Amino acid sequence: MSAGGRISGGGLFALFALGAAGGLIGDMCHVVSGTTVYLEDPLPYVWRSQLWFPLMVGGGTAALGWIRVRFGPPAEGAGAGIGEVVSMVAAVVGLYALTALVRGEPGEVAVVIVLAAAALICARFARSGFDLLCGALAAVVGMTTEAVMAAVGAFEYASDVPQVAGAATWLLGLYMAYGVVVARLGVALAERLGR
Amino acid sequence: MSAGGRISGGGLFALFALGAAGGLIGDMCHVVSGTTVYLEDPLPYVWRSQLWFPLMVGGGTAALGWIRVRFGPPAEGAGAGIGEVVSMVAAVVGLYALTALVRGEPGEVAVVIVLAAAALICARFARSGFDLLCGALAAVVGMTTEAVMAAVGAFEYASDVPQVAGAATWLLGLYMAYGVVVARLGVALAERLGR
Amino acid sequence: MSAGGRISGGGLFALFALGAAGGLIGDMCHVVSGTTVYLEDPLPYVWRSQLWFPLMVGGGTAALGWIRVRFGPPAEGAGAGIGEVVSMVAAVVGLYALTALVRGEPGEVAVVIVLAAAALICARFARSGFDLLCGALAAVVGMTTEAVMAAVGAFEYASDVPQVAGAATWLLGLYMAYGVVVARLGVALAERLGR
């Protein structure tokens, strides 16, 4: 069966705006806590972020929601109510802030608590295997992108942050939870075609 | 339709006692972490708090529960079971302790994680718009009261705690979550009249 | 009615392995954060733990699951789905990591936040009074065992960790949450006899 859904232009813009805003809040937490440092600033800053950062997070959020709806099976339920949308966004933004809060704690403890919180978010909000697949996709693409950006010297994680190839280890959990939630938001915004 | 509910004297006393006890636990966390300091001690101390503190929190809790039941619509469900009551109280006391735990972290990160946790609590436990209205009422009255008490020199927040007019910024989330939970507890304790 | 359930040998082994693995992760958090120190190392280390540690936690986990199923009433539901199992394990491992994360914070604040989180876990996952009884059993046996092991000089908690008879005070919450979750896992793995 073709999944056959699509998100309207307005829906994609909403995902873009939500992703950009959430990214700015989370990146601010990383910058003020010294978790990350921008090494190059070819573009103007927006709050604490280089302009490319919210654009990339917003674009990735819209793209991931589009992928979920275009290729995944329709959700069994009616989407998400306002309370659940608030919960999902607050959970991911709170997890983002948690990754900044654990700066200065032993790296292993930071990784365990962030992954545990991410697992709780994924288990609570994923409604289908495809939502989890979107989480895995976000983790692979996100960590690869961060590793590349770190390798080219755009920014770096503080040396006391546990890392894999220049990307913080706990990003695995943060991107998984983010991807699951964006998948659910995409479904909530989708219009089913041909019904 | 008139809301028409009331809470018995015993119910109001239960709210007073719960509010006073929770306030004492939370204020103890603030005092031992250096988040707040009492500047005047005209009254005896109860644990780590000046006597007026538990009386105000207890009185405010009883008053807010009374307001919810008197003016708000009846709850659609049968109230809250013991498990949910435990969850609601633990969530607010835990959030109170979190505001002490983040002492020493960058203020912006502290604000983001407390507001995110508060949003999760509100979304999880609010059953009606009136519950959220009680949360907003608690936030406005609570922050105003704290700003006045700080202005008259009764106590102060540490200088590294992010503040608005002498009241910690993250109190917005703590009072919102508190108000929503007290509203639910009020409904759980209410007797409907004229049925 | 006799409870009449049993867990197969494979089920008991699964509980043992899960308990041992979770114990190793949590104990690693305690060791790297300096929360605990091994004072004697008569046995080889497994990761950061003396060999007896994962054996005891694994054995206790299998025993507690067996007790729940053998003596407790059958669960009313069909057990736990994969999502709930992931949530339960992540909640307890995350709580374990939280007890390491609060190292260095005022002891009273650490105790309040750990007990509040434990209460949320117990209220969320306990399905019967017997699940809570298993939590209480784990707390009594666990804290007694730790107090004895500390008394004989096998390990010790750091002097700035709040303690009762050599065992950290917040262990009360950690063992309660652990016991409730192990009880639920036992039921999920049980085979009902004579049906």
pLDDT digits (tens, 9 = 90+) for C99-133: 999 999 999 999 999 999 999 999 999 999 999 99
Burial of C82 per CB tally in 10 Å (0-12, 13-18, 19+): exposed
Task: Tell me the mean pLDDT in the region A69-83.
Answer: 81
pLDDT digits (tens, 9 = 90+) for B111-162: 999 999 999 999 999 999 999 999 999 999 999 999 999 999 999 999 999 9
B39–chain C nearest CA distance, Å: 21
State residue B135's pLDDT score: 98
Count how many residues are written for chain C. 195
Numbered residues of chain A with Cβ closer than 8 Å to any chain B Cβ? 25, 28-29, 32-33, 83-84, 86-87, 89-91, 93-94, 96-98, 100-101
Rounded to whole angstroms, the Cα distance separating C22 from C77 reads 26
pLDDT of residue C3: 57
Two tokens at C33?
């954060």
Taking the C-alpha atoms of residue C36 and residue C28, their distance in angstroms, rounded to an integer, is 10
Q: What are the backbone angles phi and psi of residue C38, rounded to the nearest 5°? A: -75, 130
Q: What gap in Å lies between CA B188 and CA B190, rounded to an integer? A: 6
Determine the pLDDT at residue B61.
Answer: 98
- Complex prediction ipTM: 0.95
Query: What are the φ and ψ backbone dihedral angles of A80, each rounded to 5 degrees?
Result: -125, 135
pLDDT at B92: 98
Question: Is it the case that residue C92 has pLDDT exceeding 70?
Answer: yes
Element (H, E) at C32: helix C9-32
Per the structure block, which two tokens stand in for C37? Answer: 């120190």
Least confident of A176-180, B49-53, B190-194, C178-182: B190-194
Q: What is the 3-state secondary structure (H, E, C) of chain A?
A: CCCCEEECHHHHHHHHHHHHHHHHHHHHHHHHCCCEEECCCCCCEECCEECHHHHHHHHHHHHHHHHHHHHCCCCCCCCCCHHHHHHHHHHHHHHHHHHHHCCCCCHHHHHHHHHHHHHHHHHHHCCCHHHHHHHHHHHHHHHHHHHHHHHCCCEEECCCCCEECCEECCHHHHHHHHHHHHHHHHHHHEEECCC
Closest of A87, A75, A55 to residue A189, by C-alpha:
A75
For B36, half-sphere exposure in the C-beta direction (CA atoms, 13 angstrom radius) is: 29
Q: What is the pLDDT of residue B76?
A: 66
Q: What is the dihedral of CA C97, C98, C102, C103, to 10 degrees?
A: -20
Half-sphere exposure of B14 (CA within 13 A, CB side): 15
In whole angstroms, give the CA distance from residue B59 to residue B88. 19
Type of residue found at B195: R
Q: Which domain holds residue B177?
A: 5-192
Whether B112 sits inside 8 A of A86 (CB atoms) is no
Handedness of CA C18, C20, C23, C28 (dihedral sign): negative
CA B5 to chain centre: 22
Tell me, what's the pLDDT at C191?
Answer: 73
Average pLDDT, chain A: 94
Would you give per-residue pLDDT tens digits along chain B (195 residues)? Answer: 445 688 999 999 999 999 999 999 999 999 999 999 999 999 999 999 999 999 999 999 999 999 999 999 876 665 788 999 999 999 999 999 999 999 999 999 999 999 999 999 999 999 999 999 999 999 999 999 999 999 999 999 999 999 999 999 999 999 999 999 999 999 999 876 644
B98: closest CA of chain A, how far (Å): 12
C103 to chain B: nearest residue by CA? B101
Whether the per-residue pLDDT at C29 is higher than 50: the answer is yes
Mutate to test the interface with A, among B103, B109, B132, B176 (most CBs of A within 10 A): B109
Identify how many contiguous H helices and E strands chain C contains and give both numbers: 6, 8
pLDDT at A195 over 50: no
Closest to C99 (Cα-Cα) out of C18, C24, C173, C39: C173
* Tokens (6 digits) for B9: 């004297």
Q: pLDDT at position B161, please?
A: 98
pLDDT at residue A5 in the model: 83
C21 pLDDT band, cuts 50/70/90, is: very high
* Total count of domains within chain B: 1
User: pTM of the full predicted structure?
Assistant: 0.96
pLDDT at C1: 42
pLDDT at B80: 81
Taking CB atoms and an 8 Å limit, are C112 and B98 in contact across chains?
Answer: no
Closest Cα in chain C to B83: C123
Q: How confident is the model at residue A4 (pLDDT cuts 50, 70, 90)?
A: low
User: Distance between CA atoms of A104 and C28, rounded to whole angstroms?
Assistant: 17
- Of C21, C137, C116, the closest CA to residue C72 belongs to C137
- Ramachandran quadrant class, C194 (left: phi over 0; alpha: psi -120 to 50; beta: rest): left
Please report residues of B whose CB lies closer than 8 A to that of A29.
Answer: 106, 108-109, 112
Tell me which residue in C112, C120, C126 faces B25 most closely, judged by beta carbons: C112
Picking from C63, C72, C51, the residue whose alpha carbon sits closest to that of residue C4 is C72
How high is the pLDDT of residue B121?
A: 98
| The pLDDT of residue A43 | 97
pLDDT in tens, C44-78: 999 999 999 999 999 999 999 999 999 998 766 65
CB-CB under 8 Å, B97 with C123: no
pLDDT over 90 at A194, yes or no: no
